[in-house]
Amino acid sequence: MVVAFVAIAKSVGQQCLKRSKPYSNSYFSRYGVQKWQFQSHRTLILQSASESVKLERLSDSDSGILEVKLDRPEARNAIGKDMLRGLQQAFEAVSNERSANVLMICSSVPKVFCAGADLKERKTMILSEVQDFVSTLRSTFSFLEALHIPTIAAIEGIALGGGLEMAMSCDIRICGEDAVMGLPETGLAIIPGAGGTQRLPRLVGKSIAKDIIFTGRKISGKDAGSIGTCMTCHSSFVKRQSSSVFPKLAPLSLCLINTK
Helix, strand, or coil here: 151?
Answer: strand
The active-site residue, picked from 4, 93, 100, 117, is 117
Q: Is 117 a catalytic residue?
A: yes
Angle at CA 159, nearest 5°, toward 166 and 214? 90
The active-site residue, picked from 92, 156, 165, 177, is 165
Which of these, 181, 179, 167, 152, lies nearest to 249 by C-alpha position? Answer: 152
Q: Is 162 a catalytic residue?
A: yes
The active-site residue, picked from 56, 156, 177, 185, is 185
What region, left, alpha or beta, does residue 190 occupy, with left being phi > 0 and alpha being psi -120 to 50 degrees? Answer: beta
Q: Is 165 a catalytic residue?
A: yes
Q: How many other CB atoms sit within 10 Å of the CB of residue 196?
A: 27
The active-site residue, picked from 80, 161, 162, 196, is 162
Q: How many other CB atoms sit within 10 Å of the CB of residue 25?
A: 8
Q: How many other CB atoms sit within 10 Å of the CB of residue 53?
A: 25
Question: Active-site residues: which are they?
Answer: 117, 162, 165, 185
